[in-house]
Homo-oligomer: A and B are copies of this chain.
């Protein structure tokens, strides 16, 4: 079988770097084209860790070339920028796994509200599959455009889906306390993330409402067909990578740790990338992997779920490759174990 040819658009940020790293190990995919709007040059200049490891430079986008050399593009562009490129890529016959939020929010009204800009590509928005395979695998098979989920929403949705589907918790009294490593903030230098400011530090942010809050609500509403409402509060901590979420829910009747453990084990029995633990999830055990570790329990009359992923892998590049594998009918775990 011929390998899938992969391009990366927006190849100068952390999710692109993680995608490159994973694709270098992928036995059925070949990286053929790297493009970015502002940062150009040898890959080893842009990411010194890749010096001598691949024979590609980051170039300005040439759509003809891209469509010639690539079957699929991983879109590592920021929100609001991505929707300017996706229509052209699709029109040129290139499949797209888009990392931005541009194709995640189904409603153009909500998109406008959350991202403060008109959506310019409602047609493709309407047919994008939401790339959380554990919940929406059927829609990803055969898709040409996949909206790769946000990092926080991945950890939260996998933690909450079983409980909400079973009706074990109230669907409008959920608190997601989330903590992320600093790579989640991207590769642009700024004072808050300057090493001596950020090191040995932890703080909350986005108290006015993080843009991932409606994304999580939509995922879980889509999955359960109930109108899910939750409070999502993110924090950042001085580690490179990883997300840990501690999620507090109101049980609908009596539920024990044992019930939860059985439910989660059953729900994710066939999922290669979800592990149900018997103690709280630790970031270090999922770092550099595509796993989501989940520990559900009960305490003081609440249901608590601990969920951890690597924000750059299961929260971005790994999940994108998982989606790519699904689209192209490959073994879903290829290149990800």
Please report A residues at the B interface, Cβ cutoff 8 Å.
14, 24-25, 27, 48-49, 51-53, 175, 177, 179, 181-183, 185, 187-191, 193-205, 207-209, 213, 229-231, 233, 235, 237-242, 244, 246, 248, 275, 277, 279-289, 293, 295, 297, 299-302, 304, 306, 308, 337
Q: Which residue of B lies closest to A302 (CB)?
A: B231
Chain B contacts for A204, CB-based, 8 A: 244, 246, 280-281, 306
How far is the CB of A229 from the nearest CB of chain B, in Å? Answer: 8
Chain B contacts for A177, CB-based, 8 A: 177, 246, 248
> With A189-B194, A246-B177 in contact, is A182–B199 under 8 Å at CB?
yes
- Bound Cα distance A53, B272 (Å): 9
- Bound Cα distance A248, B207 (Å): 12
B248 and A284: CB pair below 8 A?
A: no
How far is the CB of A240 from the nearest CB of chain B, in Å? Answer: 5
How far is the CB of A174 from the nearest CB of chain B, in Å? Answer: 10
A237 and B202: CB pair below 8 A?
A: yes
A239 and B242: CB pair below 8 A?
A: no
B246 and A48: CB pair below 8 A?
A: no
> With A200-B284, A304-B207 in contact, is A299–B242 under 8 Å at CB?
no
Which of A183, A196, A277, A302 neighbours the largest number of chain B CB atoms within 10 Å of its CB?
Answer: A196
A282 and B201: CB pair below 8 A?
A: yes
B191 and A189: CB pair below 8 A?
A: yes
B288 and A337: CB pair below 8 A?
A: no
Q: Which of B49, B52, B207 contacts A284 (CB 8 A)?
A: B49
B231 and A337: CB pair below 8 A?
A: no
B238 and A199: CB pair below 8 A?
A: yes
A194 and B197: CB pair below 8 A?
A: no
Chain B contacts for A51, CB-based, 8 A: 275, 277, 285, 293
Q: Which residue of B lies closest to A272 (CB)?
A: B52
A299 and B233: CB pair below 8 A?
A: yes
- Bound Cα distance A282, B238 (Å): 11
- Bound Cα distance A286, B200 (Å): 11
Chain B contacts for A301, CB-based, 8 A: 231
- Bound Cα distance A49, B202 (Å): 14
A283 and B202: CB pair below 8 A?
A: yes
A284 and B201: CB pair below 8 A?
A: yes
Chain B contacts for A191, CB-based, 8 A: 187, 189
A175 and B248: CB pair below 8 A?
A: yes
Chain B contacts for A231, CB-based, 8 A: 248, 299-302, 304
